[in-house]
Structure 1
Amino acid sequence: MATVTLKGNPINTSSNLPEVGAKAPDFLLTTTDLAVHSLTNYKGSKLVLNIFPSIDTGTCAQSVRTFNKEASELENTKVLCISRDLPFAQGRFCGAEGLDNVINLSDFKDGSFGKAYGLNIVDGPLEGLHSRCVVVLDENGTVKYTEQVGEIVDEPNYKAALEALQDA
């Protein structure tokens, strides 16, 4: 279990993020067109998993915008934006914002991604949602970098995540 804060108030997650150097857990997540994707759909690409509570909050929306901008300049890299939002909300947001360099994936069905990655919030007002995290994977699905943002309303360390891609 990890502890993060929401506006200074402690909340807990279900476990800890995967260790750097470990194989990333596989997942089944829903795309905006309601297809189901797993980690194998992205094999051979470097991945930034941009994980957040809800696309409908300012900080989460900003992380999607920032990674969308940065992703347009990255070679052999995909940015997966993952939350428990419905795929329709994810698609609506990116369509309205004109964001096309990120891939939205939803864990709305059973939260199994959040459980496998140890980032489900287990108490407090955001219980059941994902904590704000970034996980970087190399082309073989090995974890190269993780960040669980200590204060949920703060943005992730974009620079550190993007630098980890250089070594991936």
Structure 2
Amino acid sequence: MDVTLKGEKFQTNGEAPQVGDMAPSFTLKDLNDKPVELSDYKGEVVILSTFPDIETSTCARQTDTFNDKAKDLKNTRVLSISANTTDQQKEWASDKEIATELLHDDDRSFAKTYGLYIEDIDKVARAVFVLNREGQVVYREVVKEMAEDPNYEEALSAARHEEAELN
């Protein structure tokens, strides 16, 4: 799959899951290096927010935006995923009230499984997936130009819709 970064074209390692697909399982580590699995969130709506580098303005804004909006969602968990180190993620989070799970993809297994790995720059492509409580993809956006923000409102609307289905 083609994506660009400031106009330069890059290729990901595959195709990202499509709407209707079951989200592939994964195990990542949180800020305390505790393993976190997708199955830990079964029964909840999940937003998977992936980004190339927490230390850049667009990635920080994406994580901030979903972190702020997550506080308003009652039955939705936001998992923010990058290839940054634990220390880089902890530094970013140090002065914030965190409502999302910051997860690091040390071995790039998540990025590779989801077709989002960009080997040329060793980064995860910017994408957002919303999963229903069974783990099925109900919303998918792979941002073609990685320097741009995802469509927050569409992703949040999909999550709100799934939350309404829980009631």
Q: What TM-score does the superposition give when structure 2 sets the normalisation length?
A: 0.93
Q: Would you say 1:162 and 2:156 are equivalent positions?
A: yes
Q: Would you say 1:115 and 2:116 are equivalent positions?
A: no
Percent pairwise identity: 40
Q: How does 1:108-147 map to 2 (within 5 A)?
A: 108=106, 110-123=107-120, 127-147=121-141
Cross-structure match for 1:106: 104
1:131 deviates by: 0.6
On the 8 A contact 1:84/1:129 being kept in 2, the answer is yes
1:118 deviates by: 0.4
AA of the residue aligned to 1:154: E
- Unpaired stretches in structure 1, ≥5 consecutive residues: none
User: Matched residues in 2 for 1:116 and 1:84: separation?
Assistant: 14
Q: How does 1:54-93 map to 2 (within 5 A)?
A: 54-93=53-92
- Unpaired stretches in structure 2, ≥5 consecutive residues: 163-167
1:167 deviates by: 3.1
User: Matched residues in 2 for 1:161 and 1:99: separation?
Assistant: 22
User: Matched residues in 1 for 2:8 and 2:111: separation?
Assistant: 21
User: Matched residues in 2 for 1:68 and 1:35: separation?
Assistant: 20
Cross-structure match for 1:20: 19
On the 8 A contact 1:48/1:136 being kept in 2, the answer is yes
User: Matched residues in 2 for 1:8 and 1:58: separation?
Assistant: 17
Residue-pair matches, total = 162
Secondary structure of 1:144's match? strand
Cross-structure match for 1:148: 142
On the 8 A contact 2:73/2:160 being kept in 1, the answer is no
Cross-structure match for 2:48: 49
Residues 6-45 of structure 1, C-alpha deviations (whole Å, 9 max, x = no match): 1111111111110111110000101100111111111111
Secondary structure of 2:144's match? coil
Residues 64-101 of structure 1, C-alpha deviations (whole Å, 9 max, x = no match): 110111111011011100001112221221122x1311
1:163 deviates by: 1.1
